Amino acid sequence: MILCLIVALSTAIYAQPKPGTGYSASGSKEGLAKLAKKIRKDFFLGSFASGLDPSGPNIEQVSKIFRNNFNIMTIGIYMTSTQREPEKYNLERVDALIDYAKANKIQVYFHPLIGGAEYSPEWINKGDFTKEELEKIMRERITTILTRYGTKIQYVDVVNEALDGEMTPDGQFSWITSVRGMEHIWMKVMGMYQGKKYKFPQYFVDAFRIAREVGDKNLKLIVNENCNSTTTSPDGLTTLSLVKAMREEGIPVDGAGIQLHGMIRDGKFYEWENIPFDLGSFDDLLRMYDEAGIEVHITEFDIHLPKNATKADFELQGKYYGEILRHAIQSPAVKSFKTWGFTDKSSWKPDGIDGHPLLLDENLNPKPAYNQQVEVLKSMAKEKR
């Protein structure tokens, strides 16, 4: 994830609930996904697979938690981890997670096929390739992964984080050309594609076309962007415009990935880059996607806490975990809702600092974030009856 602004987050200590209070994330009570199905049968609730290692410690407990609460899983297929060397693939962990998902009837969402410099291995970033050579590498990568897993995967982030903010004054898109001083080699070497109206990076167009050509006929192709969860987010309306433009130009795409990395600061909830989060603007954007007939996937949801987080901070984190899920499941456009992991023990830590952002704490105990999602889903299911 490349976020709008990397903000320092500090460690927080969470006071555990008293025995017998709250919900058990792995016990006999109904899990999150089963509760969500009572509200919408076409809605999938899940998590990034960080913390779920089929060969790791506590696998029985962790596996039970996962399958009891989630029916869709995001599996990382980053080029940095799956192709550490030229012409060699490291897919053992992916294979194991695919087997786990199949055995437990969990849908699979791959992330991502192609991304910028931070998602590309050193041999790509420092290689001296021609356009034709990079095109061949891209085609071989996409073909290998999508044909290896075939019908076992249902969704894939074809390209991750290509946009660079709002559209230009002449109505074109702005594209990321470098990150942290590293050039976007795919974009630099392969150049631009001129459509009837819009310009796109050639790598971007090729990735989607190859994925449609070699992937399973039912595979959904997603473009995943960040800072794009509301109409006032830096990339919110731009991502919507991008999917519309892709369709207009004949570039195959099925939906948009919305990242929603948030933070609690001074008793308020913010998107990244300290933008106050507004549920009304979130609803407005989802309505616009629905009106355009474009499906949405909340791909990377979490809420990071501040230094020396208080009980009130954890409660506010829980409130927004519940409310954002409520608003998402109410939108016909949203097809899946996935947290960026499920336990703080294996959470994403910007700059290595832990903001305790997920549903369960480091000991796999439910936090207010988990309990509030349960309460919201139970309340909505009751209203539906």
* Contact indicator for 332, 295 with CB cutoff of 8 Å: no
Task: Give domain limits for the chain.
Answer: 32-384
Residue 369 CA neighbour count, 13 Å, CB half: 26
Mean pLDDT on 206-214: 98
What percent of the chain has a predicted confidence (pLDDT) above 70? 94
Q: pTM here?
A: 0.94
The CATH number of 32-384, from 3.20.20.80, 3.30.420.40, 3.10.129.10, 3.30.70.520, is: 3.20.20.80
What percent of the chain has a predicted confidence (pLDDT) above 90? 86
* Contact indicator for 177, 188 with CB cutoff of 8 Å: yes
Distances (CA, A) of 126 to 79, 129, 184: 14, 9, 11
Does the structure show a pLDDT above 90 at 88? yes
In 17-176, where does DSSP find H-type helix? 32-39, 59-69, 79-82, 92-103, 122-125, 131-149
Comparing 305 with 19, the larger pLDDT belongs to: 305
* Contact indicator for 253, 245 with CB cutoff of 8 Å: no
Does the structure show a pLDDT above 90 at 4? no
Mean pLDDT of the chain: 92
pLDDT band of 12, cuts 50, 70, 90: very low
Mean pLDDT on 84-105: 96
What pLDDT was estimated at residue 307? Answer: 87
Mean pLDDT on 172-193: 96
Angle (nearest 5°) at CA 300 between 296 and 306: 135
What pLDDT was estimated at residue 55? Answer: 78
